[in-house]
Structure 1
Amino acid sequence: MGSWLGSLMCLGGLVATPLYLFISDHYSRKCTGYLVAAPFVASWVLVITAESVAILCLARFIGGMGSGAIIVFASLYVSETAQDTVRGALGSYLTLFTNAGVLFAYILGSYVHYYTFAYIAMLLPVIYTLGMLWIPETPNYLVNREKYSEAERSLRWLRGKDERLVELELNKLIMFAKEQTDERLVELELSKLIIFAKEQTEAVSLKDMLSAAGTRRALIIGVVLAANLQFCGIFAILSYTVNIFQAAGSDLSPNSATILIGSLQLAGSYASSLLIDKAGRKILLLISNICMALCLAALGTYFFVKHQGSDVSDFGWLPVGSLSVYIIAIALGVAPITFLMVSEIFEPRVKGRAIAIIISIMWLLTFLIGKFYTNLSDVLGIYGCYWMFSVCCVLGAIFTQVSVPETKNRSLESILLELSGGRKGQNLKSVQSEISVL
């Protein structure tokens, strides 16, 4: 039952991802933002009123839906409102504030009653909903629906009193939106214009997305980064935090150990928010994966030697040190950049669906690892699992070096051009035109 309580959250996230994508595409980004709070409130109400394990399981599932919803909304909203120079920092705030919330929960949970904690937690999404009243719809969403005056008002709110910047960005968004339409019209035969107009109102199919070289490459990058995040061993590390401290001979209580880990996660996330638009995404991904690989290899070796019956009392610092560096490393690179990157590498028309596919795969992998990690550790041993995760981090570093583009301070147009191999026509728009003509 414990494994189900942990993994049901992942199933909730898996269900919520396509649902909230549909809402964001058909009822606006801001509407999606309001509805993000609903699963969280419902989940805490169930926790407060639960009288059986089944109700707690349902609460966990619905809470997972909230987690899936906020990832979809935050990824889309930040990518469509942030300037290129600060897009990375703002994108990393999802992980930063997630870790801040985790630390808050660790500290609060150590000092207050179970029900008091639940009531406080239920109040937070209510405050969030009130805050949503002040933020505007995204300019991209409004321009794509030809609501130019509303898009201008949104940009004025987002960019302040810089009239020149507002005008430049609005013109850029309008030109980019019209460019997409113009390219399709040029490539279509006159007899196919009716078919094209019909296709414009329909969702882009997965087949069309996979047929476009740039979109296909972006999907591969997104899926591999999501797999990298899950197979770097974060579930195993967080699940066995207390065991690792105990194995090292630490006298820290379980509450103190979790608060320490939460603090390290927050510190790493904060460092990432400062560095991500200066050092760049790619270098942080490489550093993160390499550091995690070394820490996991060291942890695996420590537990293997201990399993063999050798005296490791002189190396009690090794697991604690490795664990601390590991937590900072994942919060510095792999965790925040995965969510940021998938919001930066897709053209607007496919972004929502592509993000939904990648995040759904991530939730599925999280569920599988959460549900079957115990079985895997029974077969390989804890040390074997750590070594396996270390190898996955090495593979993640290699993939990053070979295939992941640097998106720091770059416009969407230049990123799409690189992903399509430098050939402007090799993207989703031209592929869709060819399909229509056929």
Structure 2
Amino acid sequence: MIKNLQNTRYMQYIGAISATLSNAASATYSIWPSPTLAVLQSEDSPVGRPITDDEGSWVVSLTKLAKIVAALGGGFMVEKIGRKKSLLIAGIFLFIPWFLIIFGTNIGTLYAARFIGGLGGGIVIVGCSIYNGEIADKDIRGKLGATLIILKLVGSLLILCIGPYVSYTVLAIVCAIIPIIFVGLFVFMPESPAIVCAIIPIIFVGLFVFMPESPYYLVKVNQNDQAEKNLKILAGKLVPDKDIKAKVFEIEKSVESDMQNKTTLWEFLSNKDYRKAIIIILGVKTLQQLSGEAAIDAYMQPIIASTGSTISEEISSIIFGVVQLPGALLASYLVDKLGIN
């Protein structure tokens, strides 16, 4: 069995999934307010008093605002220190805030926790997509790229499934449990989303430490020998050395072309060769954000409760989370079979 695995590209799948766990960790920040805002606005609020609607909106939006800041800086970071190190730093940013939430007793600490978590999420947006794209062979690039949304949905679904049924206090206490015992807790004590919230970033960091850096980045910083070693790890042992060397040469040419055609931000935005791609990306992302996705994620249970539905908001939110997964799984299959056009 081990020999068969070594003869495949399984390391590409493991690398992509372990990296994308960071996106699952980021997703917990987006969906966490849904089962938690009601607790924060109650008389027994863990921050010492019921928070107002305005304060609740800041709790929700600070994560998104921080992602904007971090995404801008994340592009610079992944080029300067590498994709792997950037994602490991993001994992730390995604982990620390849960301790601020545990021990914080005022709204300011909660704001800080949400902002720091958003910084981690912003770095993930940039680093994870680049890393997955660069370690994957062309025929499975779409499939591995789709793990971003799949793991995001899994992280969200875990919170939606478990969050409404435990107290804020239990969530906070479990978040403080030493990360090294995560596996035992996850298998035998899956009753609290706090486990997921606090430990997903640690799983990601623990796994990702052993993952290879992007060969593309290594060539870019003149570490061609290490790039070749990493390609051997990612490609599987059946791939001949001559094919590995040919791949390194292909990457070298790609890097050389990128460096020769390097442009300023204004040149990039104004170049007609890139115009179609920019319009498509901006159009898709603008429609996504204007659809109210962020607000729906954060306020899902309060929105459902206000409709007077005969199905409880807890069950309705779980259904909402479940129905998205088949679509994401189907997309991961179709994108490699049919393309994106």
- Taking a change above 3 Å as real, the CA distance of residues 148 and 41 of structure 1, as seen in their structure-2 partners, is same
1:349 matched residue in structure 2 = none
Question: What is the alpha-carbon distance in structure 2 between the residues aligned to residue 50 and residue 11 of structure 1?
Answer: 21
Asked if 1:175 corresponds to 2:253, the answer is yes
Asked if 1:59 corresponds to 2:137, the answer is no
Question: Is contact 1:108–1:117 with CA below 8 Å preserved after alignment?
Answer: no
Letter aligned with residue 131 of structure 2: Y
1:31 is aligned, of 78, 85, 88, to 85
Tell me by how many angstroms 1:245 deviates.
7.5
Letter aligned with residue 58 of structure 1: A
Tell me by how many angstroms 1:139 deviates.
1.0
Letter aligned with residue 21 of structure 1: G
2:209 matched residue in structure 1 = 133
Letter aligned with residue 214 of structure 2: T
Question: Is contact 2:63–2:116 with CA below 8 Å preserved after alignment?
Answer: yes
1:230 matched residue in structure 2 = 289
Question: What is the alpha-carbon distance in structure 1 between the residues aligned to residue 248 and residue 149 of structure 2?
Answer: 29
1:124 is aligned, of 188, 191, 200, to 200
Deviation per residue, 1:50-100 (Å, 9 max, x gap) = 101121122111111121121111111012111111111111111100010
Tell me by how many angstroms 1:236 deviates.
5.6
Tell me by how many angstroms 1:242 deviates.
5.9
Question: Is contact 1:9–1:65 with CA below 8 Å preserved after alignment?
Answer: yes
Question: Is contact 2:305–2:312 with CA below 8 Å preserved after alignment?
Answer: no
What is the root-mean-square deviation of aligned Cα atoms in Å?
2.3
2:163 matched residue in structure 1 = 109
Deviation per residue, 1:358-396 (Å, 9 max, x gap) = xxxxxxxxxxxxxxxxxxxxxxxxxxxxxxxxxxxxxxx
SS of 1:278 mapped into structure 2: helix
1:154 matched residue in structure 2 = 230
2:277 matched residue in structure 1 = 218
Question: Is contact 1:152–1:170 with CA below 8 Å preserved after alignment?
Answer: yes
Question: What is the alpha-carbon distance in structure 1 between the residues aligned to residue 103 and residue 89 of structure 2?
Answer: 22
Asked if 1:263 corresponds to 2:322, the answer is yes
Question: What is the alpha-carbon distance in structure 1 between the residues aligned to residue 255 and residue 95 of structure 2?
Answer: 38
Asked if 1:276 corresponds to 2:338, the answer is no
SS of 1:167 mapped into structure 2: helix
Deviation per residue, 1:237-263 (Å, 9 max, x gap) = 54456645874x642222111111111
Letter aligned with residue 145 of structure 1: V
Q: TM-score, normalised by structure 2?
A: 0.70
State which drifts further: 117-126 or 258-267.
117-126
2:131 is aligned, of 73, 77, 84, to 77
Question: What is the alpha-carbon distance in structure 2 between the residues aligned to residue 245 and residue 2 of structure 1?
Answer: 17
Q: TM-score, normalised by structure 1?
A: 0.55
1:209 matched residue in structure 2 = 268
Question: What is the alpha-carbon distance in structure 2 between the residues aligned to residue 112 and residue 91 of structure 1?
Answer: 33
Letter aligned with residue 148 of structure 2: L
Alignment of 1:5-24 (within 5 A): 5-24=59-78
Question: Is contact 2:153–2:324 with CA below 8 Å preserved after alignment?
Answer: yes
Q: How many equivalent pairs are there? A: 262
- Taking a change above 3 Å as real, the CA distance of residues 65 and 166 of structure 1, as seen in their structure-2 partners, is same
Question: Is contact 1:29–1:73 with CA below 8 Å preserved after alignment?
Answer: yes
Letter aligned with residue 144 of structure 1: K
Q: Name stretches of at least 5 consecutive residues in structure 2 with no aligned partner.
A: 1-54, 176-194
Letter aligned with residue 268 of structure 1: G
